[in-house]
Amino acid sequence: MTSDFSKQPIVLRCAEMFSIHPRDLVGDFRFKFLMPAKFALCTALRTQGMSYPKIGKLMGRDHSSIIYAVDQGTWRMGKDEAYKAKVLELVTIPLEYDDGV
């Protein structure tokens, strides 16, 4: 990945969709209002084929937290069509990364 994951196009678009700052999306903050966006980003990254540990490293979380986030994102997609549309849009955004992450 680029040196600052918060500047990735997928992160910028997710932050825009949920009206939050990109650094809040990938930062340590765990406020309730941030969680749907974090879940959506993790779900999109996992859908693109990224591993749980790699997502965890980028998000500053343990892989087990990412498993939970993806489970929550998937559950929300099943309950909310607007949320599902956001995640599916995020999945279409290509990642700019190298395997050194």
Domain assignment of residue 39, given as a range? 5-91
CATH number assigned to the domain comprising residue 44: 1.10.1750.10
Per-residue pLDDT of the chain (101 residues; tens, 9 = 90+): 434 888 899 999 999 999 999 999 988 888 999 999 999 999 999 999 999 999 999 998 999 999 999 999 999 999 999 999 999 999 999 887 655 55
CB atoms within 10 A of CB 61: 19
Look-up of token digits 């498993």: 67
Domain presence at residue 44: yes
As for how many domains the chain has, the answer is: 1
Contacts of range 53-56, beta carbons closer than 8 Å, 24 or more positions apart: 54/101
- pTM, to two decimals: 0.90
The 3-state DSSP class for residue 94 equals coil
Both structure tokens of 42: 């993790």
